[in-house]
Each structure stands twice: as structure tokens, then as C-alpha cells.
Amino acid sequence: MANKQQNRRIVIEGELNIYTAMEMKDTLLAGLLTNEELELDLSAVDEFDAAGLQLLIMAKQGATALGRTLKITGHTPVVLDILNLSGLGDFFGDPLLIDESNVA
């Protein structure tokens, strides 16, 4: 798993779940602190669970508290599945477009 951190944009690859939660939290927080507007690209996430969801919620809430903007893009089916189950789509307020390339 590698997370490419470009300006204003974090690309998360591979797992976003309980196994990576610890380090992912730091990555996300660092990204939030250094960027006014941050885009979280999930298009390469292939494992996602409630711990991952919880992290996204934390990031979203953190961004609101700091007065920053967080956008989540590139929802893969695994992410969408959980997002749909949890009914939190509205909470994030991101357009839920599936990138064609990710639909297997």
C-alpha cells in the first residue's frame, strides 16, 4: 500500500481498514493541516471497513472544525457498499460517481 501525497490531494491505495487505520489517521491529519482544500482519492482502495469509514468521518469532522474543505472522490464499489449501508452519503456530501475503470 502506498499513499501518494501530492499537493491538495491524497491518493489512498489498497487497504483502508482496521489494519491501516493507525498510520492512515496520521496521513489524513497531516494532509488536513497543510491544505486549505484537500481531496481524498479513494479510487485505488480495494478494502474498506467500518474502521475506514470511521476515519473518513473523523477527517470530515476535523476539516469542518478547522474550517477546511475535504472532498472525497473516486469511490470504489467496496467504499460505496459501506457508504450505502451506513446511510452516511449525505453526511459527506460528495458526488458518488463511480469511475468506470473501477467497475470490474
Partner 1 sequence: MIPDEYLQTFVVECGELLEQMEEALLVIERDPKDPEIINAIFRAAHTIKGSAGLFGLDPIVAFTHVAESVLDRARGGEVIIDSTLAALFIEVHDHLARLVEHVIEGKHPADEIDRDSKRLIARLETYLGDTATHYLDESLIVHAIKAVEENSNGVETDYWHLSLRFGTDVFRNGMDPFSFVRCLNTLGSIVKLVTIIDTIPPADEMDPESCYLGFEISFQSDADKLAIENVFNFVRDDCVIHILPPRSKIEEYKRLIKALPEQEMRLGEILIQCGTLTPEELESILRIQSKHHANEVQRPLGEVLVEQHIVSPPVVNAALEKQQQVKENKKPETNLIRVDAEKLDELINLVGELIIAGAGTNLIARRANMADLMESTATLSRLVEEVRDSALALRMVQIGGTFNRFQRVVRDVSKELGKDIDLVISGAETELDKTVVEKIGDPLTHLVRNSMDHGIESAEIRLARGKPAKGKLKLNAYHDAGSIVIEVTDDGGGLNREKILGKAIERGLVTEGANLTDKEIYNLIFEAGFSTADAISNLSGRGVGMDVVRRNIEALRGTVDLDSIEGQGSTIRIRLPLTLAIIDGFMVAVGETTFVVPLDMVVECIELNAWAGDTSDGQYLNLRGEVLPYRRLSEYFDTKGDRVQRENVVVVRYGEHKAGLVVDKLMGEFQTVIKPLGKLFSGEKSIGGFTILGSGEVALIVDVPGLMNQIEHEREVGLSYAAVAA
What are the backbone dihedrals phi and psi of residue 92, each rounded to the nearest 5 degrees, phi first? Answer: -80, -30
- Sheet bearing 37-48, strands edge to edge: 4-6, 9-16, 37-48, 69-73
Minimum gap (Å) between residue 101 Cβ and partner 1: 25
DSSP state of 100: G
Under DSSP, the state recorded for 66 is: H
**Footprint of partner 1 on 11-30 (CB under 8 A):** 18, 21-22, 24-25, 29
Segment 34 to 53, residues that bind partner 1, using CB under 8 A: 49-51, 53
**Three-state DSSP class for residue 12:** strand
Instruction: Give whichever of 65 and 100 is closer to partner 1, judged by the CB atom.
Output: 65
Please give the distance of CA 66 from its chain centroid, rounded to a whole number: 17
Q: How far is the CB of 96 from partner 1 (least distance, A)?
A: 16
Binding mask 63-102 for partner 1 (x = CB under 8 A): --x----------------x--xxxx--x-----------
Would you tell me which residues interact with partner 1 (CB under 8 A)?
Answer: 18, 21-22, 24-25, 29, 32, 49-51, 53-55, 57-59, 61-62, 65, 82, 85-88, 91
